[in-house]
Structure 1
Amino acid sequence: MSITPFQALACPLDGKPLSWSDSVWRCSDGHSFDIAKQGYVNLLPVQQKRSHDPGDNKAMVAARQRFLNAGHYQPIADAVIRAVLNYAEVQTLSSESFSCLDAGCGEGYYLRQLADAAANSPSLSLMGLDISKWAVLAAAKQDNKQAPLSSWVVGSNAHLPVQTETLDCVLCMFGFPVLSEFARVLRTGGVLLQVEAGPNHLRELRKVIYPTLKPERSTETEVLEGFIHHSSERVSYSIALNGSDAIADLLAMTPHLYRASAEGRARAAALEMLSVTVDARIVIYTRI
C-alpha cells in the first residue's frame, strides 16, 4: 500500500494541466503557483473569491480540530472509510491507484483517518481542498513534510482546480456540493459520497439556541443529474459534552454559530453539560 498526493491539478485561470517543479505548479501558459513552506498551494484566484478571507476563520478551524480530534465524529469517519476502501479495492483491480478528493476538507481530519486506515489497502492518491486558507494551512501542518500524504489545496468547489475525469471518488462531508463540478472531475463509474445532516442532527443544541425548530427537510434521496443513486446509510448516536469549551467548539464548527441570535448563543455558552444527537446520512452516487 502507498498513499501519495494527487497530481492531476489544473490551472484555476485557464483550466490547463499543472505540472510540478521546484516547489512551483505551472501551466503551459506560464501561470505559476508556489507551494507554501507548510506544504499547500493556493489555487483560489481573487476573481473567484466572494470575500477577502472566505470560508472558516482561524478560530472556527481550531474549534473543529479540537472537536474532531476528541473522537466525537469517529463513527461517521469509520463508515466513510469503509465505503471508500470497498470501492478502492474494486477499482484497483483494473488500475494502479484510487484517487480521492475531499471537497471541503476542513483541517484534514477525514483524509488523515482514511490514510491511517488504509495500511493494508490498495494504493490511494489523495487531495484535500477547502476555500478557507486557515483550514488548508492546519491540514498541511499536520501532514508529513518529508512524505506528504495528500495534495492540500486552497480552492473552490465551484471551480475545482482538477483536470477533467481524473478522480475515482469525491467526498463532500457536511459541505457545499457543486454537482456539475463533481461530475466533471469524476471518471465514469466514479463515486460521489455525500455526508448530510439527518433530521435529528444536533437537535438538542438547536433547541437551546433557537426559539423554535424549523420543519425537517425531506429525507428522500435526490435525483442528481449525471449520477445514479447507489446506496444510503444512516449513522445516529448520542454524545455527552462535558464543559462549556466542548459545547462552544461544537457550535463554532457549525453554521448555527452565525444563524443563532446573540441570545441563543448566550444560552449555549451558559451550559456546562449537553447530551446531543449526532445524526448523519451517508449517500453514495455513481457517475454515469
Structure 2
Amino acid sequence: MNITPFQSLACPLDGDPMRREGASWRCAAGHTFDVARQGYTHLLPVQKKRSLDPGDSKAMVLARQRFLNGGHYQPIAAAVNRLSLADLPDSSSYSCLDAGCGEGYYLRQLALHVGSEEAASEKSMALVGLDISKAAILSATRQAGSDKARQPNWLVGSNANLPMLAGSLDRVLCLFGFPVYAEFARVLKPGGRVIQVDAGPDHLRELREIIYPELKPERKQEAEAPDNFVRGATDTLRYNLDLNAAEPIADLLAMTPHLYRANAKGRDRAAALNSLAVTVDIRLTTFERIGAL
C-alpha cells in the first residue's frame, strides 16, 4: 500500500477547501498558510490559541521521543496498526488522521506497516499527524525521514477545530489524547472509525504507587457511545515492562501528566530509581461513524 499526500485540508479560519500552491496552502478567500522548511504546516490561528505556546513542552516531547523510540510501547503500536487497517471499505485510497500525534511515533509505525510487504497492494493511504504542540510537530518532522513524498502530512492544529473537510477521513486515531467526538464525526466518512487508546486501571500502577501517597479510585468507564457513533469492541492489552536504567524511568514520568500531579517528595522518590518493573494496561476502543454527513 502506497503512502500519498492528504489533499482534503480545510481553512482553519473559514472552513473552505484549500489547495496546495507551491510551498503554501490557500483557500478561495485568499487565506494562505505556508509549509515550513521542516515540512509541517501551521494551521492553528493565533485567535484560536488558549496560550502563547500550547501543548507539550520541548522537554516532554524529548522524553516521549526517547522512551517510545526505545520500543517500550511497540506492542501498542502493533495493535493500533492492526485496528487501523481492519475492515477498510472497498476503495483504492484511504486516509487516516492521528489527532494529537505528539512526536509522531505511532503514525510513523503505521507508515512503516502500510509500506511493508505485509500490507502491500495497489491501494494507497494518506496519513496526517496533527498536534497542538509546535515542539511535538517539529520533532515529528525531524524523525520522518528524507523521502518527502512518502511522509505523513504534519500539522500544528487543534482537535477542537480540525482543519479537514467534512467526510474526508476513513480513520481517526486518538491515542492517550483528548477526543473531540463532534469534530471526529464531522471529518469521518460514514462507516469511518475512531480508534481510541486509553489507560486501563492498572496502567503504570507501580510507578503511581511510588509517586502518590495513595491512589484514587478508578472512575467507571463510559458506557454510552458518543453521538453519531456506535461502539465496537474494546480490547485489552496488558504486559509487564522492565526498565533497568534511570533515564527511561525519568522519561516515562516526564511524558505523562503524573509528573505535574505528583508532589516534590513523590518526584524525588521516582528520581532515585535505577530499575522499575511496571505494568502496561491499556484499552483499545473502536467507534464507528453512523448516519449521513
- Partner residue in 2 for 1:270: 272
Q: Which runs of 5+ in 2 are unaligned?
A: none
Question: Is structure 2 residue 143 aligned with structure 1 residue 142?
Answer: yes
- Partner residue in 2 for 1:133: 134
1:117-132 matches, within 5 Å, as: 117-118=113-114, 119=116, 120-121=119-120, 122-132=123-133
Alignment partner for residue 241 of structure 2, among 218, 239, 242? 239
- Partner residue in 1 for 2:100: 104
Contact 2:225/2:287 (8 A) holds in 1: no
CA-CA distance at 1:98 after TM superposition: 1.2
1:164-203 matches, within 5 Å, as: 164-203=166-205
Contact 1:7/1:151 (8 A) holds in 2: no
Q: Structure 1 length normalisation: TM-score?
A: 0.96
Q: Quick one: structure 1 residues 24 and 209, their matched pair in 2 at CA, closer, same or farther if it must change by over 3 Å?
A: same
1:252-274 CA distance string (max 9 Å, x none): 11111111111111111011111
- Partner residue in 2 for 1:256: 258
- Partner residue in 2 for 1:14: 14
Distance 1:193 1:60 in 2: 24
Distance 1:217 1:32 in 2: 44
- Partner residue in 1 for 2:31: 31
CA-CA distance at 1:37 after TM superposition: 0.5
Q: Structure 2 length normalisation: TM-score?
A: 0.94
1:127-182 CA distance string (max 9 Å, x none): 00000001111111122343242110000000101111100010000000001100
1:192-245 CA distance string (max 9 Å, x none): 110000000000111111111000121354321110011110000110111211
User: What residue identity is the alignment partner of 1:229?
Assistant: R
Tell me the matched-pair count.
284
User: What residue identity is the alignment partner of 1:225?
Assistant: D
Distance 1:214 1:222 in 2: 23
Distance 2:234 2:208 in 1: 25
1:62-95 CA distance string (max 9 Å, x none): 110110111111111111101111233xx1x2x2
- Partner residue in 1 for 2:282: 280
Give the % identical residues. Answer: 61
| CA RMSD in angstroms, aligned pairs only | 1.1
Distance 1:53 1:262 in 2: 25
Q: Which runs of 5+ in 1 are unaligned?
A: none
Contact 1:201/1:277 (8 A) holds in 2: yes
User: What residue identity is the alignment partner of 1:195?
Assistant: V
Distance 1:193 1:222 in 2: 16
Q: Runs of 4+ in structure 1 displaced over 4 angstroms?
A: none
Match of 2:216, SS? Answer: coil
User: What residue identity is the alignment partner of 2:58?
Assistant: K
Question: Is structure 2 residue 111 aligned with structure 1 residue 115?
Answer: yes
- Partner residue in 2 for 1:74: 74
